[in-house]
Chains A and B, each alone.
Chain A
Amino acid sequence: MSLRAVVALQLGTLDLDVEVEVRPGELVAVLGPNGAGKSTLLRAVAGLQPLDRGVVEIDGRVVDDGDEVFVEPEHRPIGVVFQQYLLFEHMSVLENVAFGLRARGVRAAEARTRAHDWLARVGLDEYAGSRPRALSGGQAQRVALARALATDPRVLLLDEPLAALDVGTRAAVRRDLRQHLASFEGMRLLVTHDPVDAHALADRVVIVEDGRVVQAGTLAEVTARPRSRYVADLVGVNLVRGAVTDGVLRTAAGAHVVIADAPAGDCVAVIRPHSVLLTREAPASSARNVWPGVVVDLDRRGDRVRVDLDGPLPLTAEITVAALDELDLRPGDAVHAAVKATDIEVAPT
């Protein structure tokens, strides 16, 4: 009982050939740059884009084999949250949520009752009579989610659910989304270009670049062992969990991380390896964060070197080969790692 998608198709300049599997109760994030073919993969699973070759199988039932079998989108057990939410403007919020039920022949009164229930679950029942254009981006997303879940799908597909939001509201909406997604027991496939989304929401990631899967696994695996420079840039980031008070995140091990935007509560700070500056002596600079550390490992990739540090705050830094030569670093050497507060991204967990 799972979702298996082996998708091969040509669409304009895109040459997509990927395989993704989502097990029951799992949330898999397909991560990759814009134009990598992520959304096309999602559309193929939804039945909005027929396969050239491959197979899409939901709970053991083949819904597209690139040949004879093609189940129309309306007959697939799916729900989709689109990037722009695509709510029906001419309907009320309630009618939007009830739409799928009505389309499946549920009687009007019952569809309305169930739509009300769903709106209440996402905390928007008071907007039942409003038009979608009266909603904020975050509210529209919750309506889109309620609309997609109201038909009780086996698979929930989410296409860049946070990309349409401005940066200011994204973190809060992401936290809400995480909560709502956790209450859905089916399979969830999320497409995003933002590693923070994947970190905050996904159990496993599949990284797609130029229409091919370049790496897949749990976040911990992929983050620890990025197989290419591209993956390293994308997910090979330092994740620091802790509690934030007064603009300072404190880890369980007692390290302090000064951050620029200041939410409160349990957060994860994302520190990109290339924003970590390494020096032999304690630096006198504007960087708000300086931690002592010991080099434990050096991993050279092309002209870059990933330096793993141990200390109160274990970190991975990325420096050039030239910088490595100049610093003359070896495992066991003591260094200082500096990071500007403004280079640290923070997401509530």
Chain B
Amino acid sequence: MRLPIPALAFAAVAVAFFALPLVGLLWRAPWSGAWSYLTADGALTALRLSLVCSLWATALSIVFGVPLAWALARTSFPGRGAVRALCTLSMVLPPVVGGVALFFALGRRGLIGQYLDRWFDVQLPFTTAGVVVAQTFVAMPFLVITVEAALRQLDLRVEDAARTLGASRWYTFRRVTLPAIRPALVAGAVLSWARALGEFGATITFAGNFPGTTQTMPLAVYLSLETNPEEAIVLALVLIAISFAVLVGLRDRWFGTRTTVAA
């Protein structure tokens, strides 16, 4: 089908809107000094911290998010809509607000945090674990809504078929349900990971900005913008390159696959 010319024009503007900031960065990038900025100790530390924390956040999102999505998709209880809204609230909340909320819940004087501190000697704020908590808080909803949608589309009778063949609920989940929603699971995990990698507001509010401990790439970019704009550009480009590579790499392999069952 051919799109009408005005629609194409608007689409082209949209593409330009996303491409131009990237071009702007490339245009201003200090190509000669890029390597030294990149290999500087602070930059590598921030990059490593970003990758480690975002992967942890993704893992936690999967471990807790898949059961949550399953419960939302398959069970029916009063107030389910409210629970779903609550669990996806952090998608629309300003991340800084999320960070403040986390602080009053899990901080040393917080609702839960005071007991974590007193009984287990665990402090989350201003630690690397705190970064993971902040990232998981904002990232998990992306996985939950993606996986929940896939679970809803799945034909429940396929699971019935598995049960009649002698498969327990758990075996059915592992061998039938999970493979069927795998594309959505991967998509959700990638979205969560991307969100965690770019996390800024909740992280800086809840975990602070300590190089080596809580200073992730977005924080490093923001901070260096004031002291050394050229370094900020290089770090930003690295962040963009990583995200872009992952999205492109996964897109063809996973996102195009449709979840269907035998007819």
What residues of chain A have their CB less than 8 Å away from a CB belonging to chain B? 43, 46-48, 72-76, 78-80, 82, 84-91, 99-100, 102-104, 132-133, 140, 147-148, 151, 157, 164
Minimum CB–CB distance from B141 to chain A (whole Å) comes to 27
Docked-complex contact B166 and A84, CB < 8 angstroms: no
Given A86-B157, A103-B168, residue A133 in contact with residue B162 (CB < 8 A): no
A47 to B158, alpha carbons, bound, how many Å?
A: 15
Could you say which of B157, B164, B175 contacts A84, with CB atoms under 8 Å apart?
Answer: B157
Docked-complex contact A147 and B165, CB < 8 angstroms: yes
What are 28 pairs between A and B in contact, CB < 8 Å? Answer: A47-B164, A48-B160, A48-B163, A73-B163, A74-B163, A74-B165, A74-B166, A79-B164, A80-B161, A82-B157, A85-B262, A86-B158, A86-B161, A88-B162, A88-B262, A89-B180, A89-B262, A90-B180, A91-B179, A99-B167, A100-B167, A102-B175, A103-B162, A103-B165, A103-B168, A133-B262, A147-B165, A148-B165
Task: List residues of chain B with CB within 8 A of the CB of A87.
Answer: 262
Task: List residues of chain A with CB within 8 A of the CB of B160.
Answer: 43, 46, 48, 73, 82, 86
Given A82-B157, A86-B155, A86-B157, residue A99 in contact with residue B261 (CB < 8 A): no
Q: Output the nearest chain B residue to A157 by Cβ-Cβ distance.
A: B164
The total number of A-B Cβ pairs within 8 Å is 80
B1 adjacent to chain A (CB < 8 Å): no
A85 to B158, alpha carbons, bound, how many Å?
A: 9
B260 adjacent to chain A (CB < 8 Å): yes
B38 adjacent to chain A (CB < 8 Å): no
Minimum CB–CB distance from B2 to chain A (whole Å) comes to 31
Nearest 10 CB-CB pairs, A to B? A100-B165, A103-B167, A73-B163, A87-B262, A86-B161, A80-B164, A90-B179, A103-B166, A104-B166, A74-B166
A232 to B198, alpha carbons, bound, how many Å?
A: 71
B263 adjacent to chain A (CB < 8 Å): yes
A82 to B157, alpha carbons, bound, how many Å?
A: 9
Q: Output the nearest chain B residue to A78 by Cβ-Cβ distance.
A: B164
B116 adjacent to chain A (CB < 8 Å): no
Q: Output the nearest chain B residue to A74 by Cβ-Cβ distance.
A: B166
Main secondary structure of the interface of B (DSSP, over half): helix
Task: List residues of chain A with CB within 8 A of the CB of B262.
Answer: 84-89, 132-133, 140
Minimum CB–CB distance from B179 to chain A (whole Å) comes to 4
Docked-complex contact B180 and A74, CB < 8 angstroms: no
Near A by CB (< 8 A), chain B positions 173-188 give: 175-176, 179-180, 182
Task: List residues of chain A with CB within 8 A of the CB of B182.
Answer: 90
Q: Output the nearest chain B residue to A49 by Cβ-Cβ distance.
A: B160
Task: List residues of chain B with CB within 8 A of the CB of A88.
Answer: 158, 161-162, 176, 262
Instruction: Please encode chain B, from 222 to 263, with 1 for each CB lying within 8 Å of some chain A CB and 0 for all others.
Output: 000000000000000000000000000000000000001111
Task: List residues of chain B with CB within 8 A of the CB of A100.
Answer: 165-167
